[in-house]
Structure 1
Amino acid sequence: MIARRILETVEQRLSQMPGVVLLGPRQVGKTTLARSLARSRAPEGLYLDLERAADRRRLTDADAFLRDQPRRLVVLDEIHRAPELFETLRGIIDDRRAAGERAGHFLLLGSASLDLMQQTSESLAGRVAHVEMMPIDVSEIGESGIVVDSLWLRGGFPDSVTAPSDRESLAWRRDFLRSYLERDVPMFAPRLPAAAVGRLWEMLAHGHGSLLNHARLASSLGVSSPAVGRYIDLLVDLLLVRRLRPWSGNLGKRLVRSPKVYVRDAGVLHALLEIETAHALLGHPIAGPSWEGFVIENLIAVADAGLTPSFLRTARGAEIDLVFERGGRVEFAIEIKRSTAPTVSRGFREGCHDLSPRAAFVVHGGSDEWPMGGDVTAISLSALMQRLRDARLDDEQRPVSDVTAGGPASAEVDSARFSPRR
């Protein structure tokens, strides 16, 4: 089993909170992780799948049954199928808190983000933490034998990336797409036509990485712009599509205000476009945008939660593929190139001049690192992910006094952390 970085986060949050809500697309590995976590605890945790009639029958008197599981982690999979349990969980958590048992009671698994977060926020506010689990990323493949290009082609869903062949991987992803349209769309949005959502999904794949144009999509689908918005909201809610917002600070210049849209998993993108092999991918016009989306998802996956991702585009041509901002300060500006010998575009330099980021990088398809002039560093995806992870750990372990002190010394340390390696 490929070790998932999120396991440590879930364990940490369970040590701090009564419950954790683990969100992620279907088939991403939530159940495998939860079962492993339940088995590793003493006493061994209890796993209940709310899609199984037998497990649901055990919860006929949920309050009595769950209260009879003292000091055990109870895993409730597909929790969105039993929203009535939230009130029961709130009462149990509050009673256990009053008795001095404050952490590690429940792990709730769900596939849709927005509805589940709203339900838990209303019923379990202050009692659960939310953790998002996404497909396997570059930092997790380690010694598994999976190479970056294979992860890019097949995507990060475990059954896809570990399939015996590219053909079997694509077949799995086709089934994955079909199951979402036949099962999940009717379940989470019964009023939305699954066929129209599927056509929109394909259209978003063809426009992967481009600015979102509701009117154009609506015209092609023969529906209204508000309907397109609802379809996209559903795909975003299911963690299958990302709307990357434009940077919205004040530059005194005309900024693009429309978001960019990406299919979050590269393998799902390629299945929507019927791309089976690496050769076919590299010869396809989507190769550049696909690599861009792949890099963006991987970098966001390891970045500090306090960093807000966006992109920059101005009417005068300044453009930055990915901007990370914290508290109004632009931390990182990132340009993405598939080439192993990239050059810095004029638009990227203009964007860096406008935003004055703390560090600027060009992520390329090779493994080397070198300075490109003007405080821009060429770097591989895996190397930049490691730097972002190191910075995140440094910030988490840094004393509060250092964080709040600020000043020139702190700025010098931060700058050194991301300076080019000579």
Structure 2
Amino acid sequence: MINRAIEATVLRSLNFFPVVGILGPRQVGKTTLARKLIGELNKPVVYYDLELVEDFETLSQNTTWVLENNINKTIVIDEVQRLLPLFPQLRALVDRKREAGRFILLGSASPDFLQKSSESLAGRIAYHELMPILKSEAESSFIPQPTHWHRGGFPDALLAPDNGYWYQWQQNFIKTYVEQDLSAMGISTTIPLLNNFLRMISHVHGSLLNYSTLSNSLGMANNTVRRYVEILEQAYLIRRLEPWFVNVSKRIVKSPKIYIRGSGNLHFLSNIRHYEDLITHPIAGASWEGYVIEQIIPLLDPGIRPYFYRTSNGAEMDLILVDGITPVVSIEIKLSLAPALKRGSTESANDLQTEHNFVVTPNGGNIAVRPKWLHCNISELIEHLKTLNMVAQY
């Protein structure tokens, strides 16, 4: 089993907050993490999985009895978004006996979970987002970067015996999301059209999000496309990276960039079955860019916000990290091993006035390429961000 960096942070919350919520996409390892945490708690635990019919019926039909008769235990409720009316009762029980670590709630693919729990449990719950296994976590289990980049960070897919099993896992994963989760979240269209929608997004991965282009290509209304993109983002499948506006006198690109968050999902949707196919595929550069971004953003301190930067005259930066209203770090992401900088990158750094600028490539080396610019790999970059106090302490 691969150890997750977030474990210590979740345990810390369990020692203070009555309720701890662990959010993340399907199959990311929330249940595995919860079972490991259970073993480290110094109190008895009762576990309910609401995907099991018997557990769902037990909690939905006998809610008060179950909760009150386990008042001295930690109650773990998996897939809690399936029983949203539970939250007001949790609040009443917490207020009756406010004690740390009373409930662990696991939820996926549901904006209603956040809304309902925030309304009912405000001040009583701490949220933690569990994302697919990071490169640093994979390498601690001797999984090399090429494998992790190609397969992505979903545990079962990453640890599959071969690429055939990996591809089959991805196929089942996308099928489940398309046929169950996304339809339950409000995407009411045919399965073939939704599959085409996902594949269309894989084609524009790393590009500016143009709703009209997607709308015209798919024969869908513009507002429908916008709503579907929002749902995919809420389901942790895609990321919209917003642009940073540094100078209102410049003609700044206003559209966000869109990424499929899981590199393995992207490669499956692009029919890339092997790493050797990936490095020669036209999407390789954009895939590497999205992969690097997903290794950085989950580690950031909550006060640090990620953006990209682009102007109409060609100045562009793949990722900038902003503290408050001050851009601090500029990051150019290149699949090429050569750390050469384009004019657009240097112009962007000048516009942003960032003191710390990095070119991230697969191999890196911590090599100074020009004043205030360092060529590094992902691991080296994270160490620099730690030095700058931009990474949350796990």
Fold conserved (TM > 0.5)? yes
Aligned partners of 1:318 and 1:350 also within 8 Å: yes
Aligned partners of 1:23 and 1:113 also within 8 Å: no
> Structure 2 matches for 1:14-33, cutoff 5 A?
14-33=14-33
Q: Which residue of 2 is the match for residue 89 of structure 1?
A: 90
After alignment, is 49-58 or 331-340 more displaced? Answer: 49-58
After alignment, is 156-165 or 184-193 more displaced? Answer: 184-193
Residues 233-290 of structure 1: CA deviation (Å, up to 9, x unaligned): 1110100000001112335201000000000000000000110111111111000000
Aligned partners of 2:136 and 2:379 also within 8 Å: yes
Cα distance in 1 for partners of 2:361, 2:392 equals 27
In structure 1, give the amino acid aligned to 2:348: G
Aligned partners of 2:152 and 2:158 also within 8 Å: yes
Q: Which residue of 1 is the match for residue 45 of structure 2?
A: 45
In structure 2, give the amino acid aligned to 1:346: R
Aligned partners of 1:320 and 1:335 also within 8 Å: yes
Q: CA deviation at 1:21?
A: 1.4
After alignment, is 37-46 or 202-211 more displaced? Answer: 37-46
Cα distance in 1 for partners of 2:393, 2:205 equals 34
**What secondary structure, in the 3-state scheme, does the structure 1 residue paired with 2:67 have?**
helix
Q: CA deviation at 1:389?
A: 4.1
Which residue of 352, 369, 373 maps to 2:370? 373
In structure 2, give the amino acid aligned to 1:23: L
Gap change, CA 1:335 and 1:113, over 3 Å in 2: farther
Gap change, CA 1:277 and 1:394, over 3 Å in 2: closer
Q: Which residue of 1 is the match for residue 34 of structure 2?
A: 34
Q: Which residue of 2 is the match for residue 153 of structure 1?
A: 150
Which residue of 216, 230, 235 maps to 2:213? 216
Q: CA deviation at 1:357?
A: 1.3
Superposition TM-score, scaled by structure 2 size: 0.96
Gap runs ≥5 in structure 2: none
Aligned partners of 1:251 and 1:354 also within 8 Å: no
Aligned partners of 1:74 and 1:106 also within 8 Å: yes
Residues 33-89 of structure 1: CA deviation (Å, up to 9, x unaligned): 111111322223221101112112332221221122234221111111000100110
Cα distance in 1 for partners of 2:194, 2:247 equals 36
Residues 147-196 of structure 1: CA deviation (Å, up to 9, x unaligned): 01110000000011111112211111111111111111222226344433
> Structure 2 matches for 1:208-357, cutoff 5 A?
208-357=205-354
Gap runs ≥5 in structure 1: 398-422
In structure 1, give the amino acid aligned to 2:53: A
Cα distance in 1 for partners of 2:307, 2:284 equals 21
Cα distance in 2 for partners of 1:359, 1:338 equals 20
Q: CA deviation at 1:393?
A: 8.2
Gap change, CA 1:106 and 1:25, over 3 Å in 2: same
Percent identity of paired positions between Structure 1 and Structure 2 = 41
* CA RMSD across the alignment: 1.7
Aligned partners of 1:304 and 1:388 also within 8 Å: no
Q: CA deviation at 1:113?
A: 4.9
Cα distance in 2 for partners of 1:263, 1:330 equals 25
Aligned partners of 2:333 and 2:359 also within 8 Å: yes
Q: Which residue of 1 is the match for residue 186 of structure 2?
A: 189
Q: Which residue of 2 is the match for residue 419 of structure 1?
A: none
Cα distance in 2 for partners of 1:358, 1:69 equals 54
Cα distance in 2 for partners of 1:390, 1:6 equals 19
Cα distance in 1 for partners of 2:334, 2:344 equals 14
Aligned partners of 2:17 and 2:124 also within 8 Å: yes
> Structure 2 matches for 1:75-154, cutoff 5 A?
75-97=76-98, 101=99, 103-154=100-151
Gap change, CA 1:319 and 1:202, over 3 Å in 2: same
Q: Which residue of 2 is the match for residue 7 of structure 1?
A: 7
Superposition TM-score, scaled by structure 1 size: 0.90
Q: CA deviation at 1:142?
A: 3.2
Aligned partners of 1:185 and 1:192 also within 8 Å: no
Aligned residue pairs, count: 393
Q: CA deviation at 1:114?
A: 2.5
